[in-house]
Amino acid sequence: MNKSTKVVIYARVSSKEQEKEGYSIPAQLELLRNYAHKNNMQIIKEYEDVETAKCAGRTNFTQMVKFLKASRDCHTILVEKTDRLYRNLPDYVTIDSLPLALHFVKEGSIISPDSHSSEKFMHGIKVLMARQYIQNLGEEVTKGLTQKAKEGYVTGKPPYGYKKLDKKVSIIDEEKSPFVVRAFELYSQGTLSLAKLACQLYEEGFVYKETQPKVYKSQLEKILKCHFYYGMIKFKDCLYNGVHEPLISKETFDLAQLAFRKDNKPKHIVSKNFLFTGMVKCAKCGCNLSGEIKKGKYIYYSCTGGKGECEQQHIYIKEEIIENQILEALSNITITKEQGEWIKAVLKESLKDEHDFTIQQINSLRGRQDKLRDRIDNLYIDKLDGKISEEYWLAKHNQWSNELNIVQENVKTYENANISFMEDCEKILKICNEIKSLYIIGDNSEKRELLNYVLQNLTLEGEKLCYTYKKPFDIFAKGLNRNKKLPRLDSNQQPTG
C-alpha cells in the first residue's frame, strides 16, 4: 500500500455574511476532505479563517504557515481556489518562499517547487488579478468616502469633543468640548510646550477621560492639528467645508500651528523632488540616497550618512547612470505571443471568478436590503396601530434607515468595482508590453509609482544598482524556459480572436 501524503487544508470566507452564502466554510471543507480521501491523503490539520484576505496576517493562516515551517513531513496545502488562499502579495510571497505543494482543488491545478515555469507564471497572474479586484473595491469605497467628505460629513468616528447624532451628523459633546477649547486657548499663546500644556490642563481640573485623567502629548498634538475643530473635514490630504458646528475659529487654529514651530525642534526632511530620493538606499550602510543639482542642471546622488560616516557619503553618482540601469531592468520584462495567450485565458477565468464573487456579495446585500425595508414598513404600521410609541418608532426608523443607506452604498460599491476590474484587466497585457515606454514618458511621480509596483530592495554600490523584481514580475523578467513548450490550454481555456 502506498504511503499517504500528509496535508493540511485551509478554508476561508471574508465575512460572516459571506459564510452564510455559497462560499460557506463547511462546503469548502467537504470538497477538500473528499479530494484528500480520493487521492489517499492524510489530513494532519484543518485551518479556517473568517477574515478578508486583502491584508496580510490572517489569524489561522499565520498559524498554518508556522506549522508548515516547523513540520518535517507535511508540505502540502489543499485549498478550494487561489483567492481563498490569498488576495495580497505579501501572503503570496510567504507561501512561495516555502517548499510547498499547493492543490487548488476547484481550479484543478497543483503548484509545487517542481512545477513548470509556465504554471508558476500563470499562478502569479491569478494572484495579481485577485489583488487587482480588491484594489478596485478599495478604490470604490474611497470614492464613496470622498463624496461623504465633500458633503461635509466626517468619514469615520468624529474627533474628541464631538459625538455622532446619527450615521452622518456630528454634534458637540458638551462634556468633552471644553477640554478642546481650553487646550487651543492656552497653546495658541505660544508660551507652553505640549508637556506643560498637559500639566496645566490637569491642574485646572480638565479631565481627558475617566481612565486617563491627564492627556498624553501625542493625544494633544492630534487634537491641536485637527482641522475639524474650526469647521473643516480633512480626507486624503484635501479639505472640505463641514456641516458641523465649529468649536474654535480659524485664527485660533492658525496660531496653534505657529506655536508648534516654536515648540518642536526642526526635523531633517529629505527632499522628494528628485526621482530616486527615498527609493534607493546605500548598499554599504543602508541609508537613503539624497539628490542635489550641480552646475545648475545635473542631478547627482550620494549617501546621506545618517548612521555616521560612510565610505559612499562623498561619492556622487549621476542620475543618468542609475536611470539607464532602471531602463535595463524594465526591458527584461517581456511577454511572448504564447505567454499572452495564456494570460488571456487566465484573465477570462479570473473575470468569471470575480463576477461570481460579486454577484454573491450583491445578492447577500440585496437580501439584507429587502429585510430592512420590510422592517421599516411593518414598524410604520405598528405605529399607526398604536402598538409602539412615537419615540420607539423614531429611534428604530432612524437606525434601520441608516443601515439601509449603508447597504445600498455597498451594493453600488461592488457593482462599480466589478466594472473597474474588467476595464483594468483589458489593460494588463498592454501595460506589460509597454512598461518601458510608460516609464520613459511618465513624470517623476508616475515613474516612482511604476517602480514601486515592479521593483524592490533598490541599493547602490558605487555606480552599480542592485534590485529584485516584485512578484509576479520576477517571472516576467526571468521569462519562461525557451527550450520547453508551454503546456496546451484545454478546450475551456482556449483564447478566442
Last residue of a domain, one of 210, 233, 263: 263
448 and 384, same domain (yes or no): yes
CA end-to-end span of the chain: 49
Contact (CB, 8 A) for 340 and 292: no
Q: Please check whether residue 71 lies inside any domain of the structure.
A: yes
pLDDT bracket for residue 244 (50, 70, 90): very high
> Residue 110: which CATH number?
3.40.50.1390
Non-local CB neighbours of 4 within 8 Å, separated by 6+ positions: 40, 41, 42
* pLDDT above 70 (res 107): yes
Q: Please check whether residue 320 lies inside any domain of the structure.
A: no
Q: Please check whether residue 323 lies inside any domain of the structure.
A: no
> Which position has the grid cell 418608532?
393
Note the pLDDT of residue 131: 64
Please indicate whether residue 298 or residue 88 has the higher confidence score (pLDDT).
298
- Biggest CA–CA distance in the chain, Å, is 86
105 and 221, same domain (yes or no): no
Q: Provide, for the chain, the percentages of residues in helix, strand and coil under a 3-state DSSP scheme, each rounded to the nearest 5.
A: 50, 15, 35
467 and 353, same domain (yes or no): yes
Strands (E), 124-261: 162-164, 170-172, 232-235, 238-241
Q: Averaged over 272-286, what is the pLDDT?
A: 86
* pLDDT above 80 (res 124): no
Note the pLDDT of residue 418: 61
Q: Averaged over 102-117, what is the pLDDT?
A: 87
Looking at the 3D structure of the chain, how many domains does it have?
A: 3
Q: Please check whether residue 292 lies inside any domain of the structure.
A: no
428 and 354, same domain (yes or no): yes
Note the pLDDT of residue 446: 84
246 and 350, same domain (yes or no): no
Amino acid at 404: L
Contact (CB, 8 A) for 76 and 43: no
Cell numbers given for 209:
477621560
Contact (CB, 8 A) for 485 and 477: no
Q: Please check whether residue 317 lies inside any domain of the structure.
A: no
pLDDT bracket for residue 21 (50, 70, 90): very low
Residues listed for the chain: 497
Note the pLDDT of residue 354: 65
Quick one: DSSP state of residue 294?
E
Cα gap 239→227, rounded to integer Å:
8
> Residue 179: which CATH number?
3.90.1750.20
* pLDDT above 90 (res 380): no
Q: What percent of the chain has pLDDT over 90?
A: 36
Q: Please check whether residue 326 lies inside any domain of the structure.
A: no
Q: Please check whether residue 329 lies inside any domain of the structure.
A: no
Contact (CB, 8 A) for 335 and 433: yes
Last residue of a domain, one of 244, 263, 282: 263
Q: Comparing 212-221, 285-294, 338-347, 388-397, which segment has the lowest mean pLDDT?
A: 338-347
Q: How far is CA 173 from the centre of its chain?
A: 33
Report the chain's mean pLDDT, rounded to a whole number: 81
Note the pLDDT of residue 264: 54
Note the pLDDT of residue 434: 78
Cell numbers given for 438:
510608460
99 and 11, same domain (yes or no): yes
Q: Averaged over 208-219, what is the pLDDT?
A: 92
Last residue of a domain, one of 238, 263, 288: 263
Note the pLDDT of residue 225: 94
Cα gap 275→402, rounded to integer Å:
46
Note the pLDDT of residue 197: 94
19 and 98, same domain (yes or no): yes
Q: Is 494 in a helix, a strand, or coil?
A: coil
Q: Please check whether residue 126 lies inside any domain of the structure.
A: no
472 and 345, same domain (yes or no): yes
pLDDT bracket for residue 424 (50, 70, 90): low
* pLDDT above 60 (res 23): no
377 and 246, same domain (yes or no): no
Q: Is the peptide bond before 472 cis (omega within 30 degrees of 0)?
A: yes
Nearest in space to 349 (alpha carbons), one of 34, 90, 133: 133
Cα gap 415→137, rounded to integer Å:
9
Please indicate whether residue 424 or residue 127 has the higher confidence score (pLDDT).
127
Q: Averaged over 483-493, what is the pLDDT?
A: 43
Note the pLDDT of residue 17: 47
Give the residue numbers spanning the domain of 110.
5-115
Cα gap 30→106, rounded to integer Å:
12
- Encode pLDDT of 438-470 as tens digits: 888 888 888 888 888 889 999 999 999 999 988
Contact (CB, 8 A) for 160 and 183: no
